[in-house]
Amino acid sequence: MKILVIGSGGREHALVWKLKQSPRVSEIFCAPGNGGIAGLASCVDIKADDVPGLLKFAKDNKIGLTVVGPEIPLVAGVVDTFEKHGLKIFGPSKAAARLEGSKVFAKDFMVKYHVPTAKYLSFDTLEAAVAGLNEFTLPVVVKADGLAAGKGVIICVTKAEAKLALSEIMIQKVFKDAGAKVVIEEFLVGEEASILAVADGKDFVILESSQDHKRIFDDDKGPNTGGMGAYSPAPVVTPALMKKIALQVIKPVIDGMKKEGAPFKGILYAGIMVTKQGPKVLEFNTRFGDPETQAVLPRLKSDLLEVMLASVEGGLRKMKLQWEKRPCVCVVMAAGGYPGDYATGKVITGFEKVSSEAVVFHAGTRQDGDFIVTSGGRVLGVTALGQDIKDAIKNVYADVGKISFDGVQYRQDIGKKALDRR
């Protein structure tokens, strides 16, 4: 079977890497891909949001399954378009992708179907939003309604900070049209975890837990990023808590979307805050997380293609996933200045020194003659397994230290919370 993976980041590299292990896969294409993916798949010069171009390519090349990596094509309706033309595609419909495409929709949906989440109010004018701040105790969380590449969430400790955040989002349009509406939420205290479930419209299976690290600096300091590293499993998610999340979060969402006339297929990602009152949903994504995917997929023993086909065709009820017991840690190596302004075109060296047990997933790279150079903010995701979490952390940082490029920055504490909890 020929596979087309849409996207160009570390998540897509991990998807290509895992799908290539399936005996049923004959050839993989990636649109547009990156410098690392080019070693495993044929990269195609079609942008991830060019739905007509992707459709034409899939038809012309008799693609058996298309796998959507990023959120933008999902929210734009790529799944609906492909299905209308009789093509198999892994991901949710445009209607179901609203769970990620609109924070207001997601919060209203959670209230309707009794999914535990933070107290919130939504607004479409700055004046109303500023007045609404009086309904909350500080700190508060201000969120842009639409897609903002993982950066549309601002934690505000003072009222002045909250007013500034609201003004930047709604008036200055720092997140463009994503800030036409905002959500103000109570600030939840606890430990975060990422839960990814695969659904087929009726049934679902939950993947092993993971924990992302959003802030740029150690000890969760500095601005939010797309994610600076992850590890799996997350010890904060005990078997009992996972059952609770399945019953209180995942099942009501799958059942609720079916009732809404938008059956959910593909990946449902629940960002969970584990509070003293129990698990509460911070956000939903409707695709694989990045960099959680890079920490979870190396532990999956089952054939990923079979899991995806069961999602598309409705056969997840019979699916039992097999997992590697050893934990996995992924450390993101980012460009200097990220998540603000950063330079590209920096030559990356040291790949040949990395141990054979580690996997280096490329996120923001491109081939430039004989060299691999930087082309994005998050550049690489170095990933390693270990006998325990301490061993996995030691292994991954040993290999991170072998790779270099001008201005490189990375967190030194990925996995520390798992060690502390242990």
Tell me what pLDDT residue 149 has.
Answer: 77
Q: Quickly name the fold that domain 2-93 has.
A: Rossmann fold (3.40.50)
The architecture that CATH gives domain 328-421 is Alpha-Beta Complex (3.90)
Tell me what pLDDT residue 420 has.
Answer: 86
Tell me what pLDDT residue 162 has.
Answer: 96
- Please compute the mean of the pLDDT values over residues 311-316 and round it to a whole number: 95
What pTM, to 2 d.p., does this model score? 0.96
Tell me what pLDDT residue 151 has.
Answer: 77
Find the helix or strand (DSSP H, E) in which 131 lies: helix 126-132
233 pLDDT exceeds 90?
yes
Q: Report the C-alpha gap between 191 and 94 in whole angstroms.
A: 31
Mean pLDDT of the chain: 96
What pLDDT digit, counting tens, does each position of 212-225 carry? 999 999 999 998 88
Tell me what pLDDT residue 92 has.
Answer: 98
Half-sphere exposure of 362 (CA within 13 A, CB side): 22
- Please compute the mean of the pLDDT values over residues 385-406 and round it to a whole number: 98
Domain 119-186 has CATH 3.40.50.300: no
Tell me what pLDDT residue 331 has.
Answer: 98
- Are the beta carbons of 268 and 286 closer than 8 angstroms? yes
- The full DSSP string for 180-226 is SSEEEEEPP-SEEEEEEEEEESS-EEEPPPBEE--EEEGGGEEEE-S
Share of the chain above pLDDT 90, in %: 96
What pLDDT digit, counting tens, does each position of 349-382 carry? 999 999 999 999 999 999 999 999 999 999 999 9
At 422, the pLDDT band (50, 70, 90 cuts) reads: low
Q: Give the residue extent of every domain in the chain.
A: 2-93, 119-186, 191-318, 328-421
What pLDDT digit, counting tens, does each position of 2-48 carry? 999 999 999 999 999 999 999 999 999 999 999 999 999 999 999 99
Token pair 């994005």 in the structure block, residue: 376
What pLDDT digit, counting tens, does each position of 140-180 carry? 999 999 998 777 899 999 999 999 999 999 999 999 999 99
CATH number of 191-318: 3.30.470.20
